[in-house]
Amino acid sequence: MSLSFQEILFRLNKFWSDQGCIIMQPYDTEKGASTMNPATFLRVLDNKPWKMACIEPCRRPTDGRYGDNPNRLQHYFQYQVIMQPNPKYSQDIYIDSLKALGIDPKENDIRFVEDNWESPTLGAWGCGWEVWLNGMEVTQFTYFQQAGGIEVKPVAVELTYGIERLAMYIQNCDSVFDLVWLEDNDRKILYGDIYHPNEVEQSTYNFEVSNISNLQKLYEIYKDEAKSCSEKELAIPAYDYVLKCSHTFNLLDARGAISKDERQRYILDIRSLAEKTAKTYVACPQKLS
C-alpha cells in the first residue's frame, strides 16, 4: 500500500521538523501560491535566520475545470519550505526529503532544470530550478534574491512541492480526484470525495456567477485598505489586503474581464502595493521577532 495523501504531508512535516523548521499552519487569506504566505514573503525580509515549513492551500481561479480535468484544479495544495540562509547542499537535503516519501532517487531520474522564478505582482525573483522526477515537475526550487523590490540577504531557499502531483506519482494514480487521502482498514477517503464538489461549485462561480462590477468595487476597497494600513505603518494587515487585491484580480481574470492593457495596469498596481508593504514592513518597529 502506498502512502496516503495525508501520510505524505505527515512525513514531510516530520522530515522538515527534523531539519529544524517550524511547522507553520496555513495562512487564512486566499493566495495564488505559497510564496505569498507572509511567513515567506515578509519573513525573508527580516534578514535573520528563519526556517519554516507548511502546507499551503492555493487558489488559481483560471485553472478551474469544473472537476472534469484529472490534472487541473482551481484549489490545490503546495508544500512550502523556507530556509534562510540556505544551508549548504540544499539540493541534497531536498533529495533526502523525497527518500522520506519512499522515492528512491537511484531508481528514478531526478533532475534540476533551470527555472528562474519571478513574481511580477510581488516584485520578487529568484534563481533556481524546477525539479523533475522522471520528467514530471514536482518541486520549484528557488534561491530568493529579492522580495517586494528589496534584496533578500542572507539568501533564502524556497522549496515548493506540487503535492498532488507528487502524490499521484507515489500512488501511481491518473486522476487527482482518485488520490487516496486516507485509508483506514476498508474505508478509503479520496481527494475527490473531499474536494470535487468544491471544484465544481467554485469553477461555476469563478467563470459564470461572480459579479464583475462587485469584484471591481471590492478590488478598489481592498486597495484603499492596503494603502491606509501602510500609511499607519501596519504592514501585516496591509499585506492581507494586497493578497485580497491579488485574488480579486485573479477572479476578474477568470471572468475574462481584464484586457491586455488592463492586466498590465493591475499587475503594476498590485506590485507597487506589495513593494510599499514590504518597505513598511522593513521599516516598521513592531515586526514579529
Nearer to other proteins, 107 or 184 (CB): 107
Cell of 10: 505527515
Q: How far apart are CA 199 and CA 14, in angstroms?
A: 30
Nearer to other proteins, 168 or 243 (CB): 168
Q: Tell the residue number behind the cell numbers 495596469, with chain if given.
A: 265
CB of 141 to other proteins, least distance (A): 9
The angle that helices 5-18 and 90-100 make with each other, rounded to 10 degrees, is 140
Assess 261 for contact with other proteins (CB under 8 A): yes
CB of 171 to other proteins, least distance (A): 12
Q: How far apart are CA 103 and CA 89, in angstroms?
A: 19
121-150 positions binding other proteins, by CB under 8 A:
126-127, 129, 133-136, 143, 145
CB of 86 to other proteins, least distance (A): 5
Assess 102 for contact with other proteins (CB under 8 A): no
Strand ranges inside the chain, DSSP E: 22-23, 50-59, 75-84, 110-114, 118-119, 124-133, 136-147, 150-162, 180-184, 187-190
The answer to whether the CB of 250 falls within 8 A of the CB of 62 is yes
The answer to whether the CB of 161 falls within 8 A of the CB of 12 is yes
60-79 positions binding other proteins, by CB under 8 A:
70-71
Paired with 127 in beta bridges are 143
Collapsed DSSP state (helix, strand, coil) of residue 75: strand
What does each C-alpha distance from 220 to 179, 209, 235, 249 come to in angstroms? 39, 20, 18, 11
Collapsed DSSP state (helix, strand, coil) of residue 227: helix
Assess 263 for contact with other proteins (CB under 8 A): no
CB of 223 to other proteins, least distance (A): 25
User: Which one of 1, 25, 28, 109 is in contact with other proteins (CB under 8 A)?
Assistant: 109
CB of 111 to other proteins, least distance (A): 5
Nearer to other proteins, 107 or 208 (CB): 107
Q: Tell the residue number behind the cell numbers 492581507, with chain if given.
A: 240
207: Cα separation from own chain's centroid: 22
User: Which one of 25, 28, 107, 184 is in contact with other proteins (CB under 8 A)?
Assistant: 107
| Stretch 162-201: interaction string toward other proteins, x if CB under 8 A | -------x----x---------------------------
Assess 217 for contact with other proteins (CB under 8 A): no
CB of 152 to other proteins, least distance (A): 9
Which residues contribute to the site for other proteins (CB under 8 A)?
70-71, 85-92, 95, 105-114, 116, 126-127, 129, 133-136, 143, 145, 153-155, 169, 174, 259-261
